[in-house]
Structure 1
Amino acid sequence: MPILDSAGQKTWQLRNRNEQLVRWAGWLVGVAIFMWCWQRISEATTWAFVWDAPRIAADMASRSWPPRWSYMETLWAPLWDTLNIATIGTMLALVMAVPVAFLAARNTTPSAVFVRPIALLIIVSTRSINSLIWALLLVSIIGPGVLAGLIAIALRSIGFCAKLLYEAIEEIDTTQVEAITATGASRWQVMAYGIMPQIMPAFAGVAVFRWDINLRESTVLGLVGAGGIGLQLQSSLNVLAWPQVALILIVILVAVVVSEWVSAKVRGAII
């Protein structure tokens, strides 16, 4: 028997027997899947190392402190490389993402049957591959260094930026576009004066947000040879120089906090 509120709307109703059975069967299947997954993980885990992890972590922390502050002189150049990888990579991604976004948006694509699926495929494919995997592939193709990291960041960011931009394009006010079209403007003029002014705030927000993400990701690309401060981190880990590792982690943390602050300020000014 349903319970109605003062407006006559149903607020609660007791489930019947079949609904209860289906609900409990779903819970039973979920618990069974969880227990099976936990068993597989447990079989592949060396629990002796897990129980010994607190002691090992405490030993590493004691070896890492105090950080080797004198090593900071060596980190300025890799930190600058990391900033360049994130910044230039984001700029390249935006240059490539804008046309892809226009091709993917329903209201601007030249062909919803042929062109739009290709643009969506580019968006999905670039977003589905992590920047570390891109960096591994590019290091194998063009060799280690900053260039591989820069291209990896750019490729990873195309799908992210294009997806948000084409969604913004599809949500524009069509009356402004129709007014400019009625004046006899060409397709490019409609895009320049009717669409671009409406998506510029979204474009600026996406650019800053993605730059913030890319700065975080570029700090670890050096672990696979793609340049930046991650390369110094990998070198210090290889020789077990824990005080240097501690300093590098502190520098990365400070860089991420500063980028977050800058990103928040810029987004606040835009919005």
Structure 2
Amino acid sequence: MNKLQSMPTAWQKYDQKQTLTQWVCWLAFVALVVFAWQVMNQDTIWYFVTDSPNQIADIGSRMWPPRWSYLEQLWLPLWDTLNIATLGTLLGIVLAFPVAFMAARNTTPSVVFVRPIALFIIAASRSINSLIWALLLVAILGPGLLAGIIAIALRSIGFVSKLMYEAIEEVNDTQVSAIRATGASSLQVLDYGVLPQVMPSFIGTSLFRWDINIRESTVLGLVGAGGIGLKLQESMAVLAWPQVTVIFCAILVTVIVSEWISAKARHALI
């Protein structure tokens, strides 16, 4: 009897309390999924859902063969799209650079006042999609490329500055302290101690954001911000599906080429 009592119990990954907590979490997750499914079904017309394969086949037949002659009208909108993405990214980088330094704890002028403002700018930029920025700016500035460029810039500020200020907070303090010990000013410490450590991350983030902005700028024309999205909206409005196919192919090739350029530039600069 004493031997049985002294035998070790079977090993378990979780104790009874942790197991009960997991079951409660799973139960809450299932209840949330069921509730979300019921909410979705309230406005869903399942006749259209079951008929969707027929609609896909019908639109697919209308989209083939592509009207390749329409490609001649896409060169200028494609160029506008590239300009929107590139200029918007550059403007966003310029604005994100000081915001990142103001948001980082080890470089901000004031943790109490300046840093919360910088963090609010980052959160506001990241929480609003570029399409919504474009919709608002078109209403303010009117349709055109300027609204698209500013929309891309406003969206890029939060993305670039967030990743950059996190990189600034993770710099090696030994190198910074060594430069500060020489009597360098605060600006010199940033120039020689912080910037060399964060520049590879900053360059990589900027190139990655430009790659993302190529994709996002293709749809800004749907709200009047210029680019190839405007041609897409026009073609879909008149049910010119062969032209839509050509636009899709042009967007796909543009995105592939931009990814290749971004990868080559990243390897060359970092």
**Fold match, TM over 0.5?**
yes
In the TM superposition, what is the alpha-carbon distance from 1:15 to its structure 2 partner?
4.1
Q: Which residue of 1 aligns with 2:94?
A: 95
CA distance in 1, matches of 2:189, 2:42: 61
Stretch deviating more after TM superposition (250-259 or 33-42): 33-42
User: How high is the sequence identity, in percent, across the aligned residues?
Assistant: 65
Name the aligned partner's letter for residue 50 of structure 1.
V
Q: Which residue of 1 aligns with 2:3?
A: none
Change (3 A) 1:77 1:26: same
CA distance in 1, matches of 2:160, 2:93: 7
Stretch deviating more after TM superposition (34-43 or 90-99): 34-43
Does the alignment pair 1:161 with 2:160?
Answer: yes
- Aligned residue pairs: how many? 262
Q: Which residue of 1 aligns with 2:85?
A: 86
In the TM superposition, what is the alpha-carbon distance from 1:201 to its structure 2 partner?
0.6
Q: Which residue of 2 aligns with 1:112?
A: 111
Does the alignment pair 1:182 with 2:173?
Answer: no
CA distance in 1, matches of 2:100, 2:144: 30
- Unpaired runs of 5+ residues, structure 2, are 1-8
What RMSD in Å do the two structures reach over aligned CA positions? 1.5
Q: Which residue of 1 aligns with 2:40?
A: 41
Name the aligned partner's letter for residue 159 of structure 1.
G
In the TM superposition, what is the alpha-carbon distance from 1:33 to its structure 2 partner?
2.1
Name the aligned partner's letter for residue 136 of structure 1.
L
CA distance in 1, matches of 2:97, 2:10: 53
Name the aligned partner's letter for residue 152 of structure 1.
A
CA distance in 2, matches of 1:101, 1:246: 41
In the TM superposition, what is the alpha-carbon distance from 1:41 to its structure 2 partner?
0.8
Change (3 A) 1:100 1:22: closer
CA distance in 1, matches of 2:222, 2:18: 52
TM-score of the superposed pair, with normalisation by structure 1: 0.92
Does the alignment pair 1:56 with 2:55?
Answer: yes
In the TM superposition, what is the alpha-carbon distance from 1:263 to its structure 2 partner?
1.7
Does the alignment pair 1:229 with 2:228?
Answer: yes
In the TM superposition, what is the alpha-carbon distance from 1:195 to its structure 2 partner?
1.3
Name the aligned partner's letter for residue 241 of structure 1.
A
Instruction: Give per-residue Cα distances to partners, 1:108-154, cap 9 Å, x unaligned.
Output: 00111111011000000111000000000000000001100000000
Q: What secondary structure does 1:81 align onto?
A: helix
CA distance in 2, matches of 1:24, 1:97: 44
Q: What secondary structure does 1:240 align onto?
A: coil
In the TM superposition, what is the alpha-carbon distance from 1:208 to its structure 2 partner?
0.5
Instruction: Give per-residue Cα distances to partners, 1:23-61, cap 9 Å, x unaligned.
Output: 433333322221121112112101111111111111111
CA distance in 2, matches of 1:219, 1:192: 37
Name the aligned partner's letter for residue 201 of structure 2.
A
CA distance in 1, matches of 2:126, 2:100: 14
Q: What secondary structure does 1:227 align onto?
A: coil
CA distance in 2, matches of 1:63, 1:13: 58
In the TM superposition, what is the alpha-carbon distance from 1:183 to its structure 2 partner?
2.2
Q: Which residue of 1 aligns with 2:170?
A: 171
Q: What secondary structure does 1:259 align onto?
A: helix
- Unpaired runs of 5+ residues, structure 1, are 4-11
CA distance in 1, matches of 2:167, 2:214: 24
CA distance in 1, matches of 2:13, 2:104: 43
Q: Which residue of 1 aligns with 2:5?
A: none
Name the aligned partner's letter for residue 225 of structure 2.
A
Whether contact under 8 Å (1:2, 1:13) holds in the other structure is no
TM-score of the superposed pair, with normalisation by structure 2: 0.93
Q: What secondary structure does 2:74 align onto?
A: helix
